[in-house]
Structure 1
Amino acid sequence: MKQVFAGFRDFISKGNAIELAVGVVIGSAFTGLVNALVEKLIMPLIAAIFGKPDFDSVGNFTINGADFSVGAVITAIVNFLLIALALYFCIVLPFNKLREFQVKHSAKKPEAPEDPRTELDVLKEIQEALQAQNGTTGSGTHAQK
């Protein structure tokens, strides 16, 4: 029994499970936001233009007592497209612009090119400069390049 609880604790404490839970909660809250946007703003706009907020009465027919509603399918397709448009323009597009802005302004400045000289080269240059300042010339292997 202890192993079962330990396994459950390990599962819950993993980042994936917690991120999934947060995603579900955010998704649920987001659903309310999108539904309100579509039902309270976009559908009334359609009703103002076409006289009805949906197309449920378009193309209805009955065959042998079975009712068919082409308009209900059209309404579902329009609702899907409206929700997709609302998501894209109100959430995805601004989020992508914000991400681009953050990446653009947080980019590291280019580093200065690395000096190709070695420490020995620098020391030789210092030695030559000191010798030139003192008016002496180098002798032996230390002054050779």
Structure 2
Amino acid sequence: MKGFRAFLLRGNVVDLAVGIVVGAAFSSLVDNFVKAFLTPIVGVVSGASGDFSAKTFKASGVKFPYGLFINAVIGFVIVAAVIYFLVVLPMNRLQDRFFPKAASAPMRECPECLTPVPAAAKRCSACTAQIGPRIVDQDPTGFDPRR
């Protein structure tokens, strides 16, 4: 029981539970916003009544409520946009500001297996071949002024 209690009280599980509850409340808020404001605006623009939830069509005596799907698509787009612009974008900016990406080490190819290895490496990590010093100032004709 102690292990189970420790698992439940870990920060990740509690954070996940809070996120799910807040997400459900936010989803309900967005659904009602779509029903109250956006679908009437779309209805005014399109010339329809604005309430898509009542829109249906029949095929072989079966009723298909496609209006509910339209409302769900509008709600999804709004939720996705809000999450992107108010959560993801600011978090990416904060991470870039406070945790800048380290510059990657210059790479070169192993002469034996052509695997990319760091320029300062003396041995290839893939084939373990010894790699000689890098000749930076080599002339394209093959003449090395340091020899």
TM-score by length of 2: 0.53
Alignment of 1:11 with 2:7, yes or no, is yes
- The SS at the match of 2:31 is helix
Per chain length, whose mean CA-contact separation is higher, i.e. which structure has more relative contact order (CA < 8 Å, sep 6+)? Answer: 1
Do the aligned residues in 1 keep the contact of 2:35 with 2:51 (CA within 8 Å)?
no
Unmatched runs of 5 consecutive residues or more in structure 2: 104-147
Superposed CA RMSD: 2.9
Unmatched runs of 5 consecutive residues or more in structure 1: 112-145
Q: Which has the higher helix share?
A: 1
Matched length: 101
Do the aligned residues in 2 keep the contact of 1:54 with 1:75 (CA within 8 Å)?
yes
* 1:39 alignment partner, one of 11, 35, 39: 35
For residue 61 of structure 1, report the CA deviation from its aligned partner: 5.8
Larger Rg: 1
Alignment of 1:94 with 2:89, yes or no, is no
Rounded to whole Å, the distance in 2 between the matches of 1:92 and 1:39 is: 22
For residue 78 of structure 1, report the CA deviation from its aligned partner: 1.0
- The SS at the match of 2:51 is coil
Change (3 A) 1:20 1:57: closer
Q: CA offsets per residue over residues 61-89 of structure 1, 9 Å max, x none?
A: 674xxxx223x1x2132122111210122
Change (3 A) 1:23 1:81: same
Which position in structure 2 is the counterpart of 1:82? 74
- The SS at the match of 1:51 is coil
Do the aligned residues in 2 keep the contact of 1:59 with 1:69 (CA within 8 Å)?
yes
Question: What amino acid sits opposite 2:71 in the alignment?
Answer: N
TM-score by length of 1: 0.54
